Amino acid sequence: MAEKWRKDVLKSIPQALNYQVANPVMVQAEINPIATEELDPATFPKRGAGLDELVKFAYTFDGYAHFGMEACAELANSALSAYYHNEVLPDDITDLRACMFFEARRWTLYQTMPDTRATIYIFALIDKIKMLLDTA
């Protein structure tokens, strides 16, 4: 199952990485919170989505307002590390959404495009959120 998922994600990466943004900081997205129970399939970016779509989705949750800046950063950084070392993600939708939010902030703040590894991580977060919503 995990291997099939990885192959699906890897197939979509070239599209995501070929998305051209002349200056990533120009991606303008406002934080526009949507309650978790109001998320629907149309809300989620599709495989190969560009940075603007990923940021727009990430900004449907305000991790700083919910957790505070330091706690959100700590949660997101430890989740990222756990994923990179063990492919483990949080089991809580709120935590997953906070991780998405923080990654989007990281890209826009540091004016960087997500690399292959970050793209795999982001779509893993999205897939886990979808899975948890489907089982709720």
From residue 41, alpha-carbon distances to 11, 21, 22, 105 in Å are 21, 25, 29, 23
Tell me how many domains the chain contains.
1
Expressed as residue numbers, the domain containing 32 is: 2-135
Average pLDDT estimate for 94-123:
93
Q: What is the pLDDT of residue 135?
A: 83
| Maximum Cα–Cα distance across the chain | 40
- E-only strand ranges, 93-134: none
Q: What tokens does 102 get? A: 């923080």
- Dump pLDDT digits (tens) for 17-70: 444 444 444 566 799 999 999 998 889 999 888 889 999 999 999 999 999 999
Q: Rounded to a whole number, what is the distance in angstroms from the first to the last CA of the chain?
A: 21
Model confidence band, residue 16 (pLDDT cutoffs 50, 70, 90): very low
